[in-house]
Structure 1
Amino acid sequence: MGRTFDWTGLKLRLVAIMSSLWVFIGMATAHEVTPTIGDLRVTGGLVQLELRLNIEAFLAGIDLDGLENTDEDDQSARYDALRALGSAELSPRVRKYAVDWADQITITAGNPLSLSYEGARIPVVGNVDLPRASFLLLEAPLPTGAQSLTVTWPKGAGALVLRQHDVTDPYTGYLQGGETSPNIPLGGGASLGAWDSLVSYIPVGFTHIIPKGLDHILFVLGLFFLSARLRPLVWQITAFTLAHTVTLAMGAAGWISINPAIVEPLIAASIVFVALENIFVRKLHPWRPVVIFGFGLLHGLGFASVLGEFGLPQGQFLPALIGFNVGVELGQLAVIAVAFLTVGIWFRNKYWYRGRIAIPASVVIAMIGLFWFVERIGAI
């Protein structure tokens, strides 16, 4: 007797697919929390701290500690309204806020210094779906004879990448809200060692995949859903890893540079391609790893642009780069592990696995990738 078609089950699966689609699209348009970049200089007897930050999140009163995107906060509506303001309208609010907020940043050189607000640069309104990076300049007189200082980043301010400039072997560190930097010699020499640099950049790479790299997560899942068997997956992951390692290294070294406005739509297109191929192709063909290698080159450029925002320690470029790449790989392996544990281990040998799981999942991934592609093309 032939099998009867389960129309009820099909309807339920379609509802689940569409629900997943809207959930992921919501995540796609969410406002990702980015770390503040702090550039520290000592010049003319002054300590200068220039901050590149998402000032609207601070003005909205959002607690950024441990937050992944601002849509999760109760103040998200106020935050969105501030993002739509022009620089002329936003500047007075920034000044009023920064004058008081500067007191919450503690720089100590023997005694706490008194930071003053010296001005801001606020870009014009662009794509309101993307964070706007503004710049604040804070200054304080340096006590005579001071040889070193520490920086304490305020609670609720999220993460800070602190970078020392204009000295030999400058300090580069990563502080969470409420943390204090180690003692930073004003003459330089506080750069991390090779092992410390490698270890400190592993979480930076990992968090770029989980939870912040939804586009990379979907690409890796696209590789998984062609076949949940180990051999095809290993071939694809190997090609992808080799490729993105090459362009990540070249981009981080400054040997190649491509505008992210070009790279990001192409990354979205790569997600669409892989997902559609899953739908129409049943097995790993010789061309698939070659195509994946090409897409890996694109994703590596995306990784390099992110790493460029953080900066790499000048004296420990290679260890920090390796640490970041290790973090990326651990993130990708975690995605694959979760996919295996939730889907592959239980259902990959079922006759209905491809029709009821792999293809519907690939349809969702393709639609999200297409949504991103259109959105990113529109932002150019």
Structure 2
Amino acid sequence: MALRLSCPDGIAGKILRLHLPTGTPAVSTMIAVENRSGQRQVNILSPGEMLWQIPEEESLGNIALNYAKLGITHIWAGMDHLLFVCCLVMLAGSFRRLLITISGFTIAHSVTLALSTLQLVNLPIASVEAAIALSVVFLALEIARGPGNTLAWRYPLLAASLFGLLHGFGFAAVLQEIGLPPMALATGLLFFNLGVEVGQVLFVAALLLVIMLIEKSITRLRGTASLRLAGYLNPSAPICVATSYLVGALALSWFAERLQILLST
């Protein structure tokens, strides 16, 4: 839910208190304040936090922190982006290839995020969102088919980079809606992107931990020796194949919904 308010007398230095009919929110609340000169201040209130004293003038440190938090919040809330990263993890098949693949995805989406946010390149957001869902379907299908001689399996860096350019436009759409502080464009853009990367790394680490725990439990039940660390990334493992079907089904439903919206506009 988005709510816009106009305060002619200004609110710099005052305390903003949230009053919600449903009580204390269970999710984070993003607040953006823009004064008459166009200066924008952004803050994220944690779940349960209901007060914010609006600073007279936001420092670069606060801008960096707030936009980094926005980046982390966005990547964790963007299920399509997370599922794409999940597919990259399964497609990589080894920690070395995973590091290279994730790096390619990061560099690619950072480029289009900057280009789109700075209004140098723009694409219709409805088309971008539909294409992002389709990119997840494509990778899920590749994983379900199993390792082969396709470009995605042979060169996951190429797939990650090409689709990363697309995902960058999706990140940019959110950042454009939030807005960047006019006096600190570079700081806001840089730290939003860094926040996205931090959130992405934390997600990959959590995902690898879950995969390792599940595979280790399976090997113990079978009475076999524990796998070496790299063995947990076996793309032919039943857990990877089963996950690919679930991810593909979800992404296909998102694509159908977004395509319907695209065709109706």
Q: CA 1:366 to 1:315, structure 2 compared with 1: closer, same or farther past 3 Å?
A: same
8 Å CA contact 1:152, 1:179 repeated in 2: yes
The residue aligned with 1:187 is none
By how many angstroms is 1:197 displaced? 1.4
Structure 2 gaps of 5+ residues are: 216-229
What are the equivalent positions in structure 2 for 1:42-61 lying under 5 Å apart? 46-47=8-9
8 Å CA contact 2:146, 2:236 repeated in 1: no
The structure 1 segments of at least 4 consecutive aligned residues displaced by more than 3 Å after TM superposition are 34-38, 155-158, 283-287, 350-353
Secondary structure at the residue paired with 2:51?
A: coil
8 Å CA contact 2:40, 2:182 repeated in 1: no
The correspondence for 1:278, drawn from 124, 139, 143, is 143
Q: CA 1:351 to 1:272, structure 2 compared with 1: closer, same or farther past 3 Å?
A: closer
Greater RCO (Cα-Cα under 8 Å, separation 6 or more): 2
Secondary structure at the residue paired with 1:254?
A: coil
More strand by share: 1
Whose Rg is larger? 1
8 Å CA contact 1:195, 1:319 repeated in 2: no
The correspondence for 2:31, drawn from 142, 154, 161, is 161
What are the equivalent positions in structure 2 for 1:27-176 lying under 5 Å apart? 34=1, 36=3, 38=5, 46-47=8-9, 149-156=13-20, 159-167=29-37, 170-174=39-43, 176=45
Deviations 1:132-181 (Å, cap 9, x if unpaired)?
xxxxxxxxxxxxxxxx552413243862423223327x241315352133
The correspondence for 1:291, drawn from 151, 159, 162, is 159
The residue aligned with 1:331 is 199
Moved more, 246-255 or 345-354: 345-354
Distance, in Å, in 2 between the alignment partners of 1:204 and 1:259 is: 22
Distance, in Å, in 1 between the alignment partners of 2:108 and 2:177 is: 21
The correspondence for 1:318, drawn from 186, 198, 218, is 186
The reply on whether 1:241 has 2:106 as its aligned counterpart is yes
The residue aligned with 2:224 is none
The residue aligned with 2:238 is 356
Identity over aligned pairs, percent: 29
Number of residue pairs aligned between Structure 1 and Structure 2: 236
8 Å CA contact 2:91, 2:153 repeated in 1: no
Distance, in Å, in 1 between the alignment partners of 2:126 and 2:231 is: 41
Distance, in Å, in 1 between the alignment partners of 2:234 and 2:177 is: 45
Structure 1 gaps of 5+ residues are: 1-33, 49-106, 108-147, 185-189
Secondary structure at the residue paired with 2:52?
A: coil
8 Å CA contact 1:37, 1:160 repeated in 2: no
Q: CA 1:183 to 1:272, structure 2 compared with 1: closer, same or farther past 3 Å?
A: closer
Distance, in Å, in 2 between the alignment partners of 1:271 and 1:240 is: 13
Q: CA 1:315 to 1:352, structure 2 compared with 1: closer, same or farther past 3 Å?
A: closer
